[in-house]
Amino acid sequence: MIVQPRNVIKEVPLEKAYRLLNVGGTGLVSAAFEGKEDLMPATWVGSLDIFPFKATAVIDKSHFTRELMEQSGFFAISLPTLGIIEETMYLGSVSMHNEPLKVKKSGVSIFKFDGYDIPMCQGCAAYMIFKLIPEEHNQKTYDLFIGECVKAFADERVFANGHWQFEKAPHELSTIHYVAGSHFYTIGNAYDTKISLED
């Protein structure tokens, strides 16, 4: 289990929050409603708009987390790191429908940001809280959820001043990228091109 001091988690300005998903890591989707809470990894998450920052998540009807999202109107996407890869895999291999103690048994350490009841997993590189934009057709037909980001935070050891800095951080803080089965990659090396776009 990675140790992540709370003082390294800093708020990210919403105009830069879209960059948190541009890294393409596996997402950890969480939600809560009336005392029930759940977390589940999801590979099919992505940015939809820059500002206001919107994101999408594909969440199958069988997932307990989906019920909480629909009932509460809010969800979060966090980016788990190599330091919690085993815990993340466990959260994706067990359902709250079958194992009510799933979150506790996973070994994750849960915390919440002020003003939000959504469980967050310690050891993530970034945390984004979304207000659900109801799109009944997309949700029922494609299991596709859209949210507008209302708060964003990141571990300043890997994301500071609006930029990822994995090359300066310990390897266990690298985002994880799911392929299939139990196979993941971690984020690779950084390269800058000679052509520079506006920052």
Is the pLDDT score of 5 beyond 80?
Answer: no
Mean pLDDT score across all residues of the chain: 93
Out of 25-34, 75-84, 115-124, 179-188, least confident range: 179-188
d(CA 103, CA 89): 12
Question: What tokens were used for 16?
Answer: 């830069």
pLDDT of amino acid 7? 82
Domain ranges of the chain: 9-186
Pick the CATH number of 9-186 from 3.40.50.10740, 2.160.10.10, 3.40.50.150, 2.30.110.10: 2.30.110.10
Mean predicted confidence (pLDDT) in 91-119: 94
pLDDT tens readout for residues 41-95: 999 999 999 999 999 999 999 999 999 999 999 999 999 999 999 999 999 999 9
Residue listed under structure tokens 């708020």:
11
pLDDT band at 193 (very low <50, low <70, confident <90, very high): confident
pLDDT tens readout for residues 115-124: 999 999 999 9
